[in-house]
Each structure stands twice: as C-alpha cells, then as structure tokens.
C-alpha cells in the first residue's frame, strides 16, 4: 500500500503521470496568511484525478494519494497528516498512499514559516486547520457530486471509507466513481469540519504508515538513492573552520583501484570512485596541505571567554513586566549562571546528497527538512536557473535540525559539476561531526528574589548566537532572536516583576544552527535548574514551589500534579539517589517530567526511571506522542550526560561515536509517558522531550548530592564523593 521507495527510485514517475489522462481538475489550496499570496501552480501528478487541493488526489479506481507537505524524519508526521486529511475526507485510512511533496513553497509552504520547512515542532500545529479544511472541502465536493446524480439533498448523504451513501434509498457511490463530477463542483471556501466528538481516526493510536518498509530494508533514504552509472564520492573539508585547500598530492590516490576522479575545489577535496571504499581509500591516500587561515588559533577557552564577557553586558529587552530593578532589591536574592556547550546533531544517516549535473540541468536526491532551499542552493551552486533544477526528497534518517541546512547540497553540486554522470556524495561520520552546523554555546545569567515563598522578581539574560539572524534574517528584528528567547519570555510562572534580555554573541569560527529542542533547550534548562535552586532557598518542595506560581498556566499545573502522582514523588529513596522535575510550556505543549537518578561515589550517573505527563492538546496519534517523548527524553539525556563539542586550534576534537557518546540501551531506564486528554488544538511534540530531560536530570543530581551543577554536560568530578572521582 505504501510505495515511497518506488517513488524515490524512479524520479521520472511524475513525468509518466503527467503524460497520462487529460481532463484535469486542479485548484490550488489557499494556505493562511503568512504562506504565500501568489497564484498557485498545479502540482505534477493530478492528471485524471480528483485533485481539489495540493494534498489530495483520488483516481478513478478510488485510490487516494496524499501529498505530504511536511517531511518524515521519525516524528510520525507521515501518519498524523494522513490521519487528519483522511478523518475529514472520510477515505479509507488503510488504503491511502503517500507521496513526498515536490519543491513548491506556494503549495506546500509551512503556514508558520511561509516556505517548505519541517521544524520547530510545528507540523501539526501549522497544518491542523488547513488540512482539516482541505479534507472537508474534498469530502463536500464528492457529496455534492453524488447528491446531484441522485437528485437528493446533500445533507441527506453520508460518507465513510471512500464511499458516499444515501441511507434512505440505500444507494452508494465510491469516491472513484465521482471524480469527474466532484471536479466540476466549486470548491467550498469554508467547509464545515467535524466536531471532535465524531472523530473516527484522530485520537486513536493507529499504526504508522512509514514503518513496515523500515523493517525489511525496502525503505529508501537519501543515502540509498541508486542511479544507473552512479559513482560514489567522499569529501574532505579543511579541518579548521573556514580554511582552504593548499597543495594536493594525488599521485598515490590515483593508483588506488576503483578511484575514478579527484575533485579539488577551493575549500574541499573529493575522491570519486566505483564504491565508497575506493573513494575512502583514495581520500586516505591523498596528501593535502590545508591553508588553515586565522581560525587555527581558536580554542574552546577563547570562545567561553568571549561569551562570558558578552553575558555581562546589558542585552536587548525582549520582555519586561513590572519593575524588575526595584523587585531585585526586595526580598532574598539568588543569582545563577548556566552554560550549555556546542553540540553536533549526529543523525544516524550521515549527511549525503546525490546529484547529476549537466551543463543545462541538475537533479538532486537527498533527505531534507527544507526542500525548496535545497533546490535554490543547488541552482546557485550549479549556476542554473531554478526551473532547471529538480530536487527529490526522501524519508530522513534523522533530521534534528541538521537537515534545515543545505550546505551538503551545495557541496555535492559543486563536486557533481566536475563529474560525468550521477554521483553520490557521502560524508564520513568524522566529516559529519567535524563539519556540522552546531547547537550554539549559550550562557544565561539569572537573578531573582524570593518573598513569602514566591518569586518577587526575575531578571533573565541570554547570551548566545542568533541562528535566526542567519537562517531567517527577515524575522531577526530589533536585535531579538525569537528562537533564542523562546520559553524565556513565556516563562509560565506568576512573577510580578519580570525581565528577559538577549545579547547576541556569535562564537568565532564555529557555524551555529538549529538543534532538536532549539531555543527552549537553553531556556528550559536554565529556568528549571534555577527554579530548583530557588525552591531550596525557600525551603519548599520543588513541585509544590512551582505549583504555587502556576495559577495562570493551569495545564502545566495539572501536568505537574499528574507527574507527582505517577512518579512516586516524595517516596523514600536510597542514598545518593534523587528525583528531579522539569515543567515546561514549550512548543504549545504543557509537560512535566520527573527523572530519578543515582550518583555513584565516582560521580557516574545511573538513570533509574523517567516519568512524563503531557498535555499537547488533541493528541492526533497518542502513541506517537508517547514515542516522541520517550525518544526526545533520551536525546536530551544523552546531551546532558555526554554531549559536548570542543574546539582546539580551530578544529573539532570529537570525530565519531567513540568520542561523541550516545546513550545506549543498557543505560536507558523505563520511561513512562502519560498523555492527558485535552480538547485544545494540538501542540508540538517532537522537541519537547529533548528540552525536558536535561533539567530534570540535573535537578535529580541536585537532590541526590546537593551539588547545583550549572553547566552541561554533567561534571562527574563535581558530584563524586570527594577523593573518589
């Protein structure tokens, strides 16, 4: 039923479809305001089909194809989006097929960003209403077509599993029988959507549509693209950020069996071979003298010195309530500074891009979170107009923000221009980790006062890179990066005097980008660590302390109460074992998390149990919500326990999974996720576990040892029994 691998293997399929039946009915689906206002172009594969909008195609046999505007990178959106569309369309969920959207911001732009972007945990938030309307409009047109044929009132018809029925006469017509007549209907502008109490699919833990092919090797990721006559390339960029290629001696490399070509560009070298091993051996045999440039002097200590200095300056005020200066002079004052390291993404599927570049065409096969940017980047690198570039998306072997960038595409196209025929450019794991676009270092300075067991004033200053200023400069306004202050300006606690400032501080040499959890990673960590320090100062239980200030955020309060109940909060624990909590209102979801951990005498941390309670509004697929929390928590806990990229002489010290550690199955405890029933619109979920894990773990360590760590990753020496580290 699901044949994305065939789609990926035959890029010409759209052309085949296009040459098919005539008599097209096409109507562009209008996305809300921030998308695009230009006239929509029809997508490619609508011929001979009922195609009332960009997402739905029904052919004469009744086969329903759904075009996915958001990409599947594990988060379950290739199940949730079909659930939403099918719910309103009343098609048979078990018979739909899926297609990756082609690059087209007008048709498939994310309503929040205005371009094709999958990120910021907003696929369902952004598309919830547009997709329901799209499904409902299509259903209504099919009903009207049937009602006309039967000469009955459309209101007397019903729909289910791809069939329109007229119950009082017993007549039925399948959607496939109605495609021509439905296509002749005008598209309803404001079709009624279902009352949530009538949902048949939404809210049920349905099986994912993308997973069967992931159990038997049939799935095709970008790295699996195979083309006739394809060659394979491995690249090397200067180990020092920004460095250039100096001299290259390729005499030994050319003798390696299977090496076909050696491509030398100003900033990278690639070896092209019959297979990856030939390319790898060829690369190892090259003697490259790099022109390392000015960044070769930079070390992590320089970067931290700069950031600490920057964090002492006043920032741009992102939010101010009451009188924070006055509030900080009254009551018991507490100060804290929190620091987070550079992180690599380390998607399991290493970066890769397959290209076929000719003088007047360029084709690109990859898995990306930003397909139109990939197309644009390829066009620029190829020196071709956009319409000469075709870009085919794939399922992603992890995104985590790394595939919000198109650097791997530009590099592949520049290499591909030198190669006759298609070439697959794959980054080794070492290249992937050492030439990432890193989660920035952050430093947060917080001052607060306590009065009567509550927070009277809160001054919070973030210092760190602005990713938005590079990635979406048009929304970097007045010196405020809305991502960098996310979950800081919307602090959920009732605080009468409150201020958040942002200091943009770009680290020298190191490129920075989005990383799962984005801005809230930093702000939830600092906020929730500091909340525990304040609770201790107030002599209060950490959960009770938070709940006392959550009257304005009842959904978070309820999540905290549930996690307290489910996690065994307050029950006795062995020595050097603690429970820590994190409460967060991030990404439109309200989540409370408890981590229970033991710190052994050597300072090693053993995770014992994790419990989360999540109110994400209507849970489209509750099992996916639970899975995203479980996985996101492990992603965050991995970073808290091990994640740090360090810079030495302008280059990244870490290189592979031996020195950039991941949590493994033997280190992961039971994780219970409790999904709270809610009728609110859906919130985001993909990044929430990642932001929740680190502060909850740190607070567990604080409870276990009394040591208030203020930096990640966890410093084992600081929490070991003295003399036992």
Binders of another protein among residues 311 to 370 (CB under 8 A) are: 346-350
Residue 720, number of CB atoms within 10 A of its CB = 18
Q: Measuring CA to CA, how many Å separate 322 from each of 317, 334, 498, 500?
A: 13, 19, 6, 12
Buried b (16+ CB within 10 A) or exposed e, 593-602: bbbbbbbeee
Among 275, 313, 602, 717, binds another protein (CB under 8 A): 275
Among 97, 623, 653, 716, binds another protein (CB under 8 A): 623
Among 201, 276, 334, 544, binds another protein (CB under 8 A): 276
Secondary structure class of 720 (helix, strand, coil)? coil
The window from 86-94, 95-103, 181-189, 396-404 that contacts another protein (CB under 8 A) reads 396-404
Among 264, 544, 668, 718, binds another protein (CB under 8 A): 668
- DSSP character for 53? S
C-alpha torsion angle, residues 124, 127, 130, 135 (rounded to 10): -60
Binders of another protein among residues 527 to 566 (CB under 8 A) are: none
d(CA 37, CA 163): 34
Structure tokens at 216: 């038997």
User: How far apart are CB 636 and another protein at their closest, in Å?
Assistant: 9
Please name which of 596, 597, 614 lies closest in space to residue 606, comparing C-alpha atoms: 597
Binding mask 73-102 for another protein (x = CB under 8 A): xxxx--------------------------
d(CA 551, CA 99): 45
User: How far apart are CB 231 and another protein at their closest, in Å?
Assistant: 10
Q: CA-based Rg of the chain, rounded to a whole angstrom?
A: 27
Among 2, 150, 199, 277, binds another protein (CB under 8 A): 277
User: How far apart are CB 694 and another protein at their closest, in Å?
Assistant: 14
Interaction of residue 201 with another protein, rule CB under 8 A? no
The window from 188-196, 336-344, 421-429, 549-557 that contacts another protein (CB under 8 A) reads 421-429
d(CA 680, CA 195): 13
Binding mask 41-80 for another protein (x = CB under 8 A): --------------------------------xxxx----
Among 34, 631, 642, 715, binds another protein (CB under 8 A): 631
Among 52, 239, 398, 416, binds another protein (CB under 8 A): 398
Binding mask 210-239 for another protein (x = CB under 8 A): xxx-xxxxxxxx-xx-x-----x-------
User: How far apart are CB 97 and another protein at their closest, in Å?
Assistant: 18
Interaction of residue 255 with another protein, rule CB under 8 A? no
Among 48, 103, 397, 542, binds another protein (CB under 8 A): 397
What are the two backbone dihedrals, phi and then psi, of residue 450, each rounded to the nearest 5 degrees?
-110, 140
User: How far apart are CB 658 and another protein at their closest, in Å?
Assistant: 5
Secondary structure class of 336 (helix, strand, coil)? strand
Q: Are strands 352-358 and 231-237 parallel, antiparallel or unpaired?
A: unpaired
DSSP string, 632-672: HHHHHHHHHHH--B-EETTEES--STTTS----GGG--EEE
Among 18, 95, 207, 724, binds another protein (CB under 8 A): 207
The window from 308-316, 457-465, 555-563, 626-634 that contacts another protein (CB under 8 A) reads 626-634
User: How far apart are CB 662 and another protein at their closest, in Å?
Assistant: 5
The window from 14-22, 61-69, 142-150, 397-405 that contacts another protein (CB under 8 A) reads 397-405
What are the two backbone dihedrals, phi and then psi, of residue 347, each rounded to the nearest 5 degrees?
-60, 145
CB of 98 or CB of 157, closer to another protein: 98
Secondary structure class of 300 (helix, strand, coil)? helix
Among 670, 717, 721, 724, binds another protein (CB under 8 A): 670
Q: What is the residue whose two structure tokens read 């599993």?
A: 161
Interaction of residue 611 with another protein, rule CB under 8 A? no
Interaction of residue 656 with another protein, rule CB under 8 A? yes
Interaction of residue 426 with another protein, rule CB under 8 A? yes
Interaction of residue 513 with another protein, rule CB under 8 A? no
The window from 95-103, 499-507, 539-547, 633-641 that contacts another protein (CB under 8 A) reads 633-641
CB of 395 or CB of 599, closer to another protein: 395
Among 108, 460, 635, 702, binds another protein (CB under 8 A): 635
d(CA 562, CA 614): 9
User: How far apart are CB 80 and another protein at their closest, in Å?
Assistant: 13
User: How far apart are CB 186 and another protein at their closest, in Å?
Assistant: 41
Interaction of residue 662 with another protein, rule CB under 8 A? yes
| Secondary structure of 23-41 in HEC code, one letter for each residue | CCEECCCCCCCCCCCCCCC
d(CA 384, CA 627): 42
* Residues binding another protein: number (CB under 8 A): 65
Binders of another protein among residues 462 to 491 (CB under 8 A) are: none
CB of 76 or CB of 102, closer to another protein: 76
CB of 399 or CB of 519, closer to another protein: 399
Q: What is the residue whose two structure tokens read 């439905």?
A: 182
Among 19, 151, 571, 658, binds another protein (CB under 8 A): 658
d(CA 424, CA 569): 52
Question: 513 CB contacts (<8 Å, ≥6 apart)?
Answer: 401, 402, 404, 405, 436, 437, 438, 439, 467, 471
Q: Is 658 exposed, middle or buried (0-12, 13-18, 19+ CB in 10 A)?
A: exposed
CB of 278 or CB of 457, closer to another protein: 278
* Distance spanning both ends of the chain, measured CA to CA: 56
User: How far apart are CB 280 and another protein at their closest, in Å?
Assistant: 8
User: How far apart are CB 518 and another protein at their closest, in Å?
Assistant: 17
Question: 201 CB contacts (<8 Å, ≥6 apart)?
Answer: 83, 86, 87, 93
CB of 167 or CB of 257, closer to another protein: 257
Please name which of 562, 543, 566 lies closest in space to residue 493, comparing C-alpha atoms: 543
User: How far apart are CB 649 and another protein at their closest, in Å?
Assistant: 23
CB of 361 or CB of 656, closer to another protein: 656
Among 258, 322, 336, 479, binds another protein (CB under 8 A): 258
CA angle 79, 638, 723 (to 5 degrees): 165
CB of 541 or CB of 623, closer to another protein: 623
Question: 469 CB contacts (<8 Å, ≥6 apart)?
Answer: 476, 481, 504
Q: Is 664 exposed, middle or buried (0-12, 13-18, 19+ CB in 10 A)?
A: exposed
Structure tokens at 288: 């490259």
The window from 46-54, 395-403, 535-543, 576-584 that contacts another protein (CB under 8 A) reads 395-403
User: Which residues contribute to the site for another protein (CB under 8 A)?
Assistant: 73-76, 207-208, 210-212, 214-221, 223-224, 226, 232, 257-258, 274-278, 280, 346-350, 395-400, 426, 428-429, 623, 627-628, 630-635, 638, 656-658, 662-666, 668, 670-671, 689
């Amino acid at each position: 039923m699901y044949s994305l691998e065939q789609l990926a293997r035959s890029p010409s399929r759209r052309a085949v479809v296009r040459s098919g039946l005539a008599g097209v009915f096409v109507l562009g689906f209008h996305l809300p305001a921030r998308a695009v206002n230009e006239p929509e172009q029809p997508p490619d594969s609508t011929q001979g089909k009922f195609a009332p909008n960009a997402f739905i195609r029904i052919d004469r046999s009744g086969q329903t194809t759904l075009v996915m505007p958001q990409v599947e990178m594990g988060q379950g959106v290739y199940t949730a989006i079909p659930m939403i569309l099918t719910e309103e369309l009343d098609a048979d969920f078990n018979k739909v097929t899926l297609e990756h959207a082609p690059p087209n911001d007008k048709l498939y732009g994310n309503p929040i960003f205005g371009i094709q972007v999958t990120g910021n945990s907003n696929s369902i938030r952004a598309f919830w209403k547009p997709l329901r309307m799209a499904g409902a409009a299509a259903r209504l047109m099919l009903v009207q077509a049937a009602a006309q044929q039967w000469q009955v009132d459309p209101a007397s018809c019903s729909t289910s599993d791809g069939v329109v029925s007229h119950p009082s006469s017993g007549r039925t017509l399948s959607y496939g029988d109605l495609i021509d007549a439905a296509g002749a209907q005008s598209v309803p502008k404001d079709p009624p959507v279902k009352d949530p109490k009538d949902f048949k699919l939404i809210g049920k833990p349905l099986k994912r549509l993308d997973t069967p092919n992931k159990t038997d090797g049939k799935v095709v990721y970008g790295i699996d693209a195979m083309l006739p006559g394809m060659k394979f390339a491995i690249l090397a960029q200067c180990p020092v950020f920004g460095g250039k290629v100096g001299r290259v001696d390729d005499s030994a490399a050319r003798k390696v069996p299977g090496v076909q070509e050696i491509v030398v560009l100003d900033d990278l070298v690639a070896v092209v071979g019959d297979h990856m091993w030939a390319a790898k051996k060829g690369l190892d045999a090259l003697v490259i003298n790099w022109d390392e440039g000015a960044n070769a002097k930079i070390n992590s200590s320089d970067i931290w010195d700069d950031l600490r200095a920057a964090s002492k300056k006043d920032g741009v005020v992102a939010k101010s309530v009451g009188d924070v200066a006055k509030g900080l002079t009254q009551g018991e004052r507490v100060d804290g500074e929190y620091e987070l390291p550079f992180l690599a993404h380390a998607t399991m599927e290493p970066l890769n891009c397959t290209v076929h570049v000719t003088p007047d065409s360029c084709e690109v096969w990859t898995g990306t979170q930003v397909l139109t940017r990939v197309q644009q980047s390829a066009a620029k690198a190829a020196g071709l107009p956009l319409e000469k570039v075709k870009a085919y998306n794939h399922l992603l072997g992890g995104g985590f923000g790394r595939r919000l960038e198109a650097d791997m595409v530009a590099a592949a196209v520049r290499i591909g221009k030198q190669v006759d025929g298609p070439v697959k450019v794959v980054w080794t794991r070492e290249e992937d980790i050492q030439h990432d676009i890193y989660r920035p270092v952050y430093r947060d300075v917080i001052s607060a006062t306590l009065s009567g067991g509550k927070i009277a004033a809160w001054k919070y200053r973030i210092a760190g890179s602005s990713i938005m200023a590079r990635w979406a400069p048009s929304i970097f306004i007045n010196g405020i990066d809305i991502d960098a202050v996310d979950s800081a300006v919307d602090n959920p606690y009732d605080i009468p005097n409150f201020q958040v400032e942002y200091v943009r501080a770009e680290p020298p040499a190191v490129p920075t980008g989005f990383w799962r959890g984005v801005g809230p990673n930093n702000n939830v960590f600092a906020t929730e660590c500091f909340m525990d320090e304040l609770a201790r100062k107030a002599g209060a239980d950490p959960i009770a302390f938070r709940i006392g200030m959550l009257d304005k955020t009842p959904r978070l309060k309820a999540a905290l109460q549930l996690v307290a109940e489910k996690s065994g909060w307050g029950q006795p624990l062995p020595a050097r074992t603690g429970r820590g909590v994190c409460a967060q209102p991030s990404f439109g979801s309200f989540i409370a998390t408890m981590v229970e951990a033991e710190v052994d005498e050597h300072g090693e941390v053993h995770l014992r149990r994790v419990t989360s309670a999540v109110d994400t509004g209507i849970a489209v697929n509750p099992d996916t919500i639970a899975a995203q929390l479980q996985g996101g928590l492990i992603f965050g806990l991995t970073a808290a326990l091990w994640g740090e990229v360090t810079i030495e002489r302008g280059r990244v010290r870490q290189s592979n999974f031996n020195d950039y550690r991941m949590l493994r199955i033997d280190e992961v405890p039971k994780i219970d996720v409790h999904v709270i029933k809610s009728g609110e619109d859906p919130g985001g979920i993909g990044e929430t576990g990642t932001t929740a894990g680190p502060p909850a773990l740190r607070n567990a360590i604080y409870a276990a040892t009394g040591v208030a760590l203020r930096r990640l990753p966890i410093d084992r020496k600081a929490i070991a029994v003295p003399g036992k580290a």
